[in-house]
Structure 1
Amino acid sequence: MKLLLNALLLLALIPSLLALKPRLQAERPGPVVLVVDAEALREEAQSQGKSLLEVLEAYRALGIGGVAFPERFVKDWVSQGVLLYRGGRELLEAGLPAKPGWFYLKGEPWLVTHLATAYDLPTERLGPWLGFPLDVQAFPAFYPLEEIRAAKEAGFFVVVRPINQRYRRLDPSLPLVPKEADAVVFAGLEALGYPHRLEDAKDLVPVPVALIEGTPQPGLTAYQEKGTLRLFSLRYEWQLTLTPEEAADKYVLASRERGHQLLYLRPYPYRQDTERFLKRIREGLEASHIPLGQPRVRGFTPSPLRHAAWVGVASGLGLLALGLPIYGPWVAFLLLLLALGYAGSQAGALLAALVFPVLGFLGPRNGLWMWLRALGYALAGAVFLSALGSTPETVLGLQAFRGVSLTLLAPPLLVAFSFMRGNYKETLTRLFLHPLRLGEVALAGLALLLLALALLRRGNDAPLVPELELKLRSWLQDVMVRPRFKEVFGHALFPLALLLPWPRWVQNSLLFLAALGVASILNTFSHFHTPLPISFFRVVNGALLGLLLGLLGVMLVRRLRAWWLG
């Protein structure tokens, strides 16, 4: 039966691999565009007595190909002298029949005309003055159109940043996105029209929208049919704590390993630092063979061949049921229920992530063949997971994978469960009555600590990452696709566990920790927004580096053991 299930698993790999072709074609790196924030350049332009376009042209030589215009507030126009803003009582004192509790503005005719119909508020006219019943200073008030037109005519990629506001009128006769815009990046923490007017708002956005890395914006998925671009930016306060080279490396990494197409930049306070910053970005993109240019929407249609991956997942679930020494069918059935109930449409992908890291541990402990078997099953599971879970929503990052924590927690626990034998009651009794030794307690505490660290250190913003590891990460990502430390650590434990004469309980403990590294392989591929080739090379580099370190560890332990025993 196991032979048949393995044969079905291998047969399912072929169509599952073919099903990944549309995603691979959509994930080709680049082109990317370096977009500078227009407001961040405005002070520089004013200090030099130049127009914004003149400053932009100087930055073009440094690689800048786009400019982003945040939507202005009424108060911004007032501070620039384009509008005058007065309370109703002031106008009353000046002899105008204004309403005391109202607020009035006047200025550029085109802007006043636009604001007269921009909000769902009553208005009144007092000659050149336009009145509102509310203080509208913090209301969105469109863009500097002349600057936008000039930037577009000069060949820049134009991004606009509209602001969501509950009184904003969403009317097709009132264009909220200038016709010169190439993309939209919503300002603030929510998409335009969220939460109740998304259907009205999405018809007013005719260009692709951007998904900002690390900034969830509710309502963004409503704009998916317009196309989605991935954007990376650093919070300016944090950027200033980094050297230009450190900040640039983060932008290059985002483009190379996470598929970002818009790199949203703000200059450093000093021109020399900005030049170093942009030079390093250009060099990094060139070294990664990522061209600069106008970004394209990365859409794809999932292949129907992906459904064949369910045959592979079902075969893996069957192998788990047969391979566990006790209650195998029940465990497999519970995993199936868990995946269907928790992950819904992603149930197949979650099952692959939970089952395949365990299969390599269920066979004989035949040295490094066991490591190779575990790696092979994990990579097969990664193919099935990627085939079933790769959709435009998950690849773009609009929809997260359900069960990321489970992919790291459940497989090691299943591996530990596989160490139980048929006489498990006797085993548990002996374990309960076993006299504790200080060394065993220390090892058990270390195992629990490592398991907790594996869970707490998920993601790029994990809180428990030592400074030394951050520096090592930075060095590794300069020379290769950086492997995950959990995988390096897990692969290194296989030779230590299987090539040295440990007592059974020590070997089991080491294999339990090694299962963390194997589970991390599937966890790596569950980050669908990372391009598939990057995930693959990350896993391969982790396996090779971990195996090498493990073999070195075996040599060291053997020498230490020989010295200790005299």
Structure 2
Amino acid sequence: MLGTYNHWNKLFLKGLWWLVILGMIAAIPVAYQRHETEQGSGRKVEFVMDYRDLLEISDTQTDPRKFMTTQLQEMKKHGIHSAAIYEATLNELKLSRRIELFSSHEAMALTQTPISPNENFTYLLFSEKDAEQKLQPLINQTFSSLNVKTRPWSYKNQPGMIIEMAMDDAMLKTMDPDPITMQMLKDQGFTIVVRMSNRRPFVANQMDALLGQLQQFGVKRFIIDGETVPGFVSEKDLKNIDIMAELMQKHNIGLAAIELQKTPQKGFNSLAKKIHFNVVRLHSFTEKDGEKLTENITEEELKSREQGVADRFVLAVKDRNIRMVFLNAHAVKSLDKGKIINPLDAIYASLDGIGEDSTLPRIQKAGYVFGPATSFQLVHSGWQNAAKVLLWLGAIGLITLTISYFIPEIALAVFVLGIIGSAGLLVLNSTTFSQALALVSSTCAPTLAIMFALRTGRRKLENPGGSRLAFAIWLLLRTSLISVMGILCIVGLLNQINYMYVLDQFRGVSFLHLAPIALAALYWLLFSEKMTYGGRVTRARQMLQANISVLWIIAAAAIAGAGMYYLSRTGNEGQASAFERYFRSFLENTLGVRPRTKEFLIAHPIFLLGGYLCFKYRSALLLLLVGVIGQASIVDTFAHLHTPLLISSIRIVYGLTFGTLIGLALIVVWEIVSRSWNRWVPRLSE
């Protein structure tokens, strides 16, 4: 029985590479259709100004309405053609100068009429006839739905009303967006984006009427205001979400997904799925970001920060599929300048006021157009399901092949168990299946690439011959090509629109960074040389029982520190120094796409030098081992599924190109130092 298994296992190992290659070939057209999705639709970029922020800034001006008129003209002049309107509140209507509000005490002082000491109401005056006609029904409806009484009131023939609720409380109640503001913005040619909340009770017919009104004003998209979407009750009760989705589709209104939120908005993913992913990604320029443009700095430093803002916006659009940039600003009291200032002029300058390095011309040059943001139209052919079956087999084969480099005798069993186990996982949860298989296979690819390179390097050490330089370059390219298998697994298995919008996220970036390093090191220590399993156990025991010196402790601390730093720079929360941020900006602005520094400055050059030196030096295999960092980085680049495939591909090509050039420079330096050493050291010793 065992002999039969070993016979089939050997035959299986011979054909395993072909199974893996077949699966990877099947993933290529799947990746191409994702590229078509990214390049063929959703190419409009929209800049949106927070209208409430403008109102709050205007409240610090001597002529608020003139300020608002001027700023709306400036916005259009500088490429901002959309404004975000919130659900109205009494406070916002007061900022708009449509109403004036008074507490009971203030009303008593104003009218010189005694008011009951037991009364704490809100007194309201309309500033204009148009405001009374359009806002009074809206206010009455809002407070009557809260069982709060309202009644007419006037002062010196100026109409108003009394709301029987404390003013601080009344100012927090939300109502439908201000129709006067929306009409004004529409007349001036602005696209209106509405911030919708879940603060009011969800009533289907009222929501239907509101969405119909918003559709008439040209509203095409909501940005959710708050922690939950309209209609959300709980993850188990999605009845209102279903109704909300039907109404949004009826009125052709989509969503904007705010990136980098610490806490996802509850119900967003469910609502996005039910409206068939009529979603765009949104990048938020916050009030705190705007404050940095108002600090007491030199003109040169201000221009540098404006350039940084422009770089940030361009990078968001090109690298992260952002299609809506949401601009916030607020007034700041500057004690140094002795006045109240705001960042609006600096924001305008970053958009189109610093020449060709401004935001707008660079986005246009990259092939985008400006207008109301549109969602991606997914390109998905029916044959993708068959292709993914082949990719599934290829991914299991890739995992099996990696394990066979450690224990070849169990390859066939691992493959069969892998197929059965992953099939069961697919039945239980398809999302977990695709993510787990993508993570494990993409981890195996760079591991296998480096193990294959170490085997090749060891054979070359035993049988040197041929051009060392050609061998080193060929080894780097072949190793990177094997790592590409991990890319195809990620792209092929996770080719769903929800990953492009980061509604679902590929987990395990840290694992993808560290696991190949650990596995490749384990292979180098225990499995790269021919020996029995007993010999490997003996070597492992000797290593564990070896006396620890102070030097070892220092080396371990250095490695741990390097590992922590390496992890701190991965993922969206990665940290970088000021110099590195400047260097990244330089590369981005010069090349258009920034290669990863750990690839072209560290891993690829060291790997290339190791390939060159493994003809003569056994220790050069350690340099090949360092190359696993670059190979893992190649795969990880495509784990950022919100980045267009074209951008990620260019980044990898740049990394290999510049890494090769720097590696060639290292080889030249090595030759100079080596020959000088061989020439002068004997003479000095004499």
| Cα distance in structure 2, aligned partners of 1:399 and 1:151 | 35
| Cα distance in structure 1, aligned partners of 2:99 and 2:344 | 32
| Cα distance in structure 1, aligned partners of 2:349 and 2:621 | 52
State the AA in 2 paired with 1:38.
Y
Does the aligned pair in 2 maintain the 1:98–1:126 contact within 8 Å?
A: no
State the AA in 1 paired with 2:488.
V
2:190 aligned residue: 156
- Pairing of 1:338-417 with structure 2 (within 5 A): 343-363=432-452, 364-366=455-457, 368=472, 369-417=474-522
1:223 aligned residue: 271
1:12 aligned residue: 23
1:400 shift after superposition:
0.6
| Cα distance in structure 2, aligned partners of 1:142 and 1:99 | 31
Is 2:375 the partner of 1:297?
A: yes
Runs of 5+ unmatched residues, structure 2 = 1-11, 127-131, 153-160, 235-239, 294-304, 330-340, 353-357, 458-470, 528-532, 682-686
Does the aligned pair in 1 maintain the 2:43–2:369 contact within 8 Å?
A: yes
| Cα distance in structure 1, aligned partners of 2:146 and 2:163 | 12
| Cα distance in structure 2, aligned partners of 1:240 and 1:32 | 25
User: Percent identity of the aligned residues?
Assistant: 22
| Cα distance in structure 1, aligned partners of 2:164 and 2:137 | 12
With normalisation by structure 1, the TM-score equals: 0.87
1:332 shift after superposition:
7.9
| Cα distance in structure 2, aligned partners of 1:222 and 1:116 | 33
Q: Which region of structure 1 is more displaced relative to structure 2, 173-182 or 80-89?
A: 80-89
Does the aligned pair in 1 maintain the 2:134–2:179 contact within 8 Å?
A: no
| Cα distance in structure 1, aligned partners of 2:418 and 2:119 | 68
| Cα distance in structure 1, aligned partners of 2:553 and 2:409 | 29
| Cα distance in structure 1, aligned partners of 2:292 and 2:313 | 15
1:187 shift after superposition:
2.3
- Pairing of 1:470-549 with structure 2 (within 5 A): 470-480=581-591, 481-488=593-600, 489-500=602-613, 506-507=619-620, 509-549=622-662
State the AA in 2 paired with 1:209.
L
Q: 1:99 to 1:326 in 2, by over 3 A?
A: farther
1:399 shift after superposition:
0.8
Q: Which region of structure 1 is more displaced relative to structure 2, 335-344 or 386-395?
A: 335-344
Larger Rg computed on CA atoms: 2
Which of 108, 129, 142 aligns to 1:118? It is: 142
1:372 shift after superposition:
2.5
Which of 537, 541, 549 aligns to 1:429? It is: 541
State the AA in 2 paired with 1:349.
A
CA deviation map 1:475-513 (0-9, x unaligned): 111122112223332222212333335875x55554443
| Cα distance in structure 2, aligned partners of 1:510 and 1:537 | 26
Q: Which region of structure 1 is more displaced relative to structure 2, 64-73 or 40-49?
A: 40-49
1:124 shift after superposition:
2.0
Which of 566, 575, 578 aligns to 1:454? It is: 566
> Larger % of helix: which?
2
1:149 shift after superposition:
2.0
| Cα distance in structure 2, aligned partners of 1:346 and 1:380 | 16
Does the aligned pair in 2 maintain the 1:162–1:184 contact within 8 Å?
A: yes
State the AA in 1 paired with 2:84.
A
1:296 aligns to what SS in structure 2?
Answer: coil
Q: What RMSD, in angstroms, separates the aligned Cα atoms of the two structures?
A: 3.5
- Pairing of 1:126-141 with structure 2 (within 5 A): 126-127=151-152, 128-132=161-165, 135-141=169-175
| Cα distance in structure 1, aligned partners of 2:134 and 2:65 | 26
Is 2:47 the partner of 1:30?
A: no
Q: Which region of structure 1 is more displaced relative to structure 2, 507-516 or 393-402?
A: 507-516
Does the aligned pair in 2 maintain the 1:87–1:100 contact within 8 Å?
A: no
Q: 1:150 to 1:458 in 2, by over 3 A?
A: same
1:531 shift after superposition:
0.7
1:525 shift after superposition:
0.9
Does the aligned pair in 1 maintain the 2:637–2:648 contact within 8 Å?
A: yes
Does the aligned pair in 2 maintain the 1:239–1:247 contact within 8 Å?
A: no
Which of 230, 237, 246 aligns to 1:192? It is: 230
Does the aligned pair in 2 maintain the 1:35–1:66 contact within 8 Å?
A: yes
Q: 1:328 to 1:439 in 2, by over 3 A?
A: farther
Q: 1:135 to 1:276 in 2, by over 3 A?
A: closer
With normalisation by structure 2, the TM-score equals: 0.73
1:176 shift after superposition:
4.5
| Cα distance in structure 1, aligned partners of 2:415 and 2:545 | 31
1:76 aligned residue: 92
Q: 1:537 to 1:437 in 2, by over 3 A?
A: farther
Runs of 5+ unmatched residues, structure 1 = none
1:48 shift after superposition:
7.4
| Cα distance in structure 1, aligned partners of 2:183 and 2:436 | 49
1:321 aligned residue: 403
